Amino acid sequence: MNEKLHEIKKMLQEDGYKLTPQREATVRILLEKDKEHLSAEDIYMLVKDKAPDIGLATVYRTLELLSELRIVHKLNFGDGVARYEITSDDEGHHHHHIVCLECGKLEEFEDDLLEEIEKRIESTKNFQIVDHRLSFFGYCKDCKDKPKSERPKMKIE
């Protein structure tokens, strides 16, 4: 974790920013919870334990800055809540997500099956792809067998 934190500090400095104690506390939470998809409010509640003087607005500003600098990915799964995760070390590509429309469970999958499509787009459209995002929406193993009448009509934005 310290190596990744040092890397992030360097990235901030290259763009003229400092790794303030508030930013460091936020980044540490994201690194510690790297398999979770935390909202700004989730992060705030966890950061508050480490830095009691931090405010929710500071966490939001920090997340927006980190997102602009591509240190974190800001994710939207159609439920109106932005979630955040540290950008992976893989240049340009990262994992994808499956989202349960009933319980909201979120899972990651690593298979990147889009390489051929990317190559085709790049060659036919003369477009350099640097990243992509893919999410699948449906029902998890716990929710898929419930009768359709019991399933909420979750709207995907």
- Strand 135-138 to strand 96-100: parallel, antiparallel, or no bridges (unpaired)? parallel
**Per-residue model confidence as pLDDT tens digits over 78-105:** 778 899 988 876 555 567 888 888 887 8
Which of 40, 66, 87 is the C-terminal boundary of a domain?
87
- Strand 135-138 to strand 106-109: parallel, antiparallel, or no bridges (unpaired)? unpaired
Residues annotated in a binding site: 94, 100, 103, 115, 132, 140, 143
Structural domain including 122 reads 94-157
SS3 129: coil
pTM: 0.69
Q: Are residues 22 and 68 in the same domain?
A: yes
**Per-residue model confidence as pLDDT tens digits over 37-70:** 899 999 999 999 888 999 999 999 999 999 999 8
Which of 68, 87, 106 is the C-terminal boundary of a domain?
87
* E-state strands within the chain: 38-39, 72-76, 82-86, 96-100, 106-109, 135-138
How large is the average pLDDT for residues 106-119?
Answer: 81
**Per-residue model confidence as pLDDT tens digits over 26-46:** 999 999 998 888 999 999 999
Residues annotated in a binding site for Zn(2+): 100, 103, 140, 143
With beta carbons less than 8 A apart as the criterion, state whether 95 and 86 touch: no
Which of 53, 87, 121 is the C-terminal boundary of a domain?
87
Q: Are residues 58 and 134 in the same domain?
A: no
Residues annotated in a binding site for Fe cation: 94, 115, 132
